[in-house]
């Protein structure tokens, strides 16, 4: 009876953690919308408490708009903005920050509730401390990212800062998911297979690199620099690859083209490797001689997701460029779906890593 009660408690905590993962994914998508609509610099202050409320009344709206007028994005790109235009971009950044606050509340309230009800055991304390530290750091990284664009020279936040913010969110989501998996998947449903585990780790590492280049693409608006497929503006390998950096370069046009090339190339590599991984893992699971439905199901998702992701990426490139000015069109919808499936792919690989990294019995 005690074990049954403990399992129910563990399941409740796991569901709460999964809710957190879903909220992090939604928060990341809202960040993508904020970026795509050019809304990220509309709020020029960081007010963790009072900032939960949008401007109330004409006077506060005028004050917020005047502060926005002092930065480079307004002076260089949006100098023709009306107050109505400003409100349209303000909404997305405000909602992005509001959702982050709601995420913090859900974690804090849930933690207090489960702590009082005695749902935690000692082995959960350390993971929760790490979880809250990662969450707090994510908020700080987000504000430091915004600050890179709050000046009179830049019109967007720095693409490297954007990438750090995004990768930090993915690390937080992966850590939270791993914590939940420890409570959800019984040890008996896991398999110890070092070969599959190592292969999966390699795929996760490459996926993180791909996510980094994807955030570079978003930060530099590099999809529009080569709206062609399968070639890149008539080249399989752009000439700039041999003469300019693949990550940072003073020549913005060359940098955008090179990052675009790298993002496409890594995508093809991932498709090939994940399909190979699926065949490899399926054979190993079959040869294990035991019925493992969890492992058999979990290996199905990465190859499906990576192929869908490739199609979405190609479609997004062909539908670029951005609309901006707080608007959402075909490209923005496809780009956000592309980002969502990328996060699903990463989560699917994390689940497989957990399933195949069981200790030897």
SS (H, E, C) the chain: CHHHHHHHHHHHHHHHHHHHHHHHHHHHHHHHHHHHCCCCCCCCCCCCCHHHCCCCCHHHHHHHHHHHCCCHHHHHHCCCCCHHHHHHHHHHHHHHHHHHHHHHHHHHHHHHHHHHCCCCCHHHHHHHHHHHHHHHHHHHHHHHHHHCCCCCCCCCCCHHHHHHHHHHHHHHHHHHHHHHHHHHCCHHHCCECHHHHHHHHHHHHHHHHHHHHHHHHHHHCHHHHCCCCCCECCECCCHHHHCCCCCCCCCHHHHHHHHHHHHHHHHHHHHHHHHHHHHHHHHHHHHCCCCCHHHHHHCCHHHHHHHHHHHHHHHHHHHCCCCCCCCCCHHHHHHHHHHHHHHHHHHHHHHHHHHHECCCC
Closest by CA to 345, choosing from 281, 270, 272, 292, is 270
Measure the CA–CA gap between 361 and 356, rounded to whole angstroms: 13
**172 and 237 both lie in a single domain:** no
Q: Pick 320 or 161 by higher pLDDT.
A: 161
**Final residue of a domain: which of 184, 202, 234?**
184
CA angle 303–210–318, rounded 5-degree value: 80
Rounded mean pLDDT, 171-176: 95
**14 and 48 both lie in a single domain:** yes
**59 and 112 both lie in a single domain:** yes
Is the pLDDT at 184 greater than 50? The verdict is yes
Range of the domain at 223: 188-361
pLDDT for the residue numbered 303: 98
Instruction: Report in angstroms the alpha-carbon separations of 211 from 34, 169, 227, 360.
Output: 18, 11, 20, 32
Split into its structural domains, the chain has a count of 2
**333 and 196 both lie in a single domain:** yes
pLDDT for the residue numbered 71: 95
Structure tokens at 330: 């075909």
Q: What percent of the chain has pLDDT over 90?
A: 65
| Cβ contacts of 4 within 8 Å, gap of 6 or more | none
**Final residue of a domain: which of 184, 212, 237?**
184
| Cβ contacts of 117 within 8 Å, gap of 6 or more | none
Instruction: Answer yes or no: are the C-beta atoms of 345 and 207 closer than 8 Å.
Output: yes
290-327 pLDDT, tens digit per residue, is 667 888 899 999 999 999 999 999 999 998 766 556 67
**167 and 246 both lie in a single domain:** no
Instruction: Report in angstroms the alpha-carbon separations of 332 from 92, 108, 224.
Output: 13, 33, 12
238-267 pLDDT, tens digit per residue, is 999 988 888 888 788 999 999 999 999 999
Is the pLDDT at 346 greater than 50? The verdict is yes
Rounded mean pLDDT, 277-300: 85
**45 and 30 both lie in a single domain:** yes
The pTM of the full predicted model, rounded to 2 decimals, is 0.92
pLDDT for the residue numbered 269: 97
Closest by CA to 40, choosing from 78, 11, 13, 1, is 78
Measure the CA–CA gap between 250 and 9, rounded to whole angstroms: 55
**297 and 256 both lie in a single domain:** yes
Asked if residue 340 has a cis previous peptide bond (ω within 30° of 0), the answer is no
Q: Pick 139 or 339 by higher pLDDT.
A: 339
**127 and 211 both lie in a single domain:** no
Q: Pick 289 or 303 by higher pLDDT.
A: 303
**Final residue of a domain: which of 184, 204, 226?**
184
**287 and 353 both lie in a single domain:** yes
Q: What is the mean pLDDT of the chain?
A: 90
Instruction: Answer yes or no: are the C-beta atoms of 21 and 176 closer than 8 Å.
Output: yes
Mean pLDDT is lowest, of 4-8, 51-55, 83-87, 192-196, for 4-8
**150 and 278 both lie in a single domain:** no
Terminal-residue alpha carbon distance, the chain: 26
**85 and 109 both lie in a single domain:** yes
pLDDT for the residue numbered 127: 85
**175 and 231 both lie in a single domain:** no
Rounded mean pLDDT, 201-219: 96
pLDDT for the residue numbered 323: 58
């Amino acid at each position: 009876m005690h074990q049954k009660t403990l399992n129910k408690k563990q399941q409740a905590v796991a569901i709460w953690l999964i809710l957190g993962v879903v909220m992090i994914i939604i928060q990341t998508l809202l960040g993508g919308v904020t970026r795509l609509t050019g809304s990220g610099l509309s709020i020029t202050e960081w007010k963790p408490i009072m900032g939960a409320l949008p401007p109330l009344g004409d006077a506060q709206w005028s004050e917020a708009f005047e502060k926005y007028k002092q930065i480079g994005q307004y002076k260089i790109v949006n100098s023709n903005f009306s107050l109505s235009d400003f409100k349209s971009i303000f909404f997305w950044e405000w909602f992005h920050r509001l959702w982050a606050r709601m995420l913090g509340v859900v974690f804090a309230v849930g933690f207090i509730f489960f702590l009082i009800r005695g749902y935690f055991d000692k082995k959960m304390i350390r993971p929760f401390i790490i979880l809250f530290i990662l969450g707090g750091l994510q908020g700080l990284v987000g504000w430091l990212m915004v600050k890179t664009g709050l000046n009179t020279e830049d019109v967007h936040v720095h693409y490297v800062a954007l990438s750090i913010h995004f990768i930090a969110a993915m690390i937080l989501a992966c850590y939270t998911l791993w914590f939940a998996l420890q409570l959800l998947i019984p040890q008996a449903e896991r398999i110890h297979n070092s070969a599959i585990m190592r292969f999966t780790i390699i795929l996760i590492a490459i996926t993180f690199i791909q996510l980094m280049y994807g955030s570079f693409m978003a930060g530099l608006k590099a999809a529009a620099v080569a709206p062609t497929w399968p070639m890149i503006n008539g080249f399989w390998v752009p000439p700039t690859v041999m003469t300019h950096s693949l990550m940072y370069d003073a020549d913005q046009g060359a940098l955008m083209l090179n990052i675009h090339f790298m993002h496409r190339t890594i995508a093809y590599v991932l498709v090939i490797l994940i399909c190979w991984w699926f065949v490899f893992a399926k054979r190993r699971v079959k040869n294990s001689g035991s019925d493992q439905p969890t492992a058999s199901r979990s290996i199905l998702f990465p190859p499906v997701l990576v192929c869908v992701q490739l199609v979405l990426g190609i479609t997004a490139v062909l539908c670029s460029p951005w609309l901006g000015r707080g608007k959402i069109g075909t490209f923005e919808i496809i780009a956000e779906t592309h980002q969502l499936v990328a996060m699903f792919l990463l989560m699917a690989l994390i689940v497989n890593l957990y399933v195949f990294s069981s200790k030897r019995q």
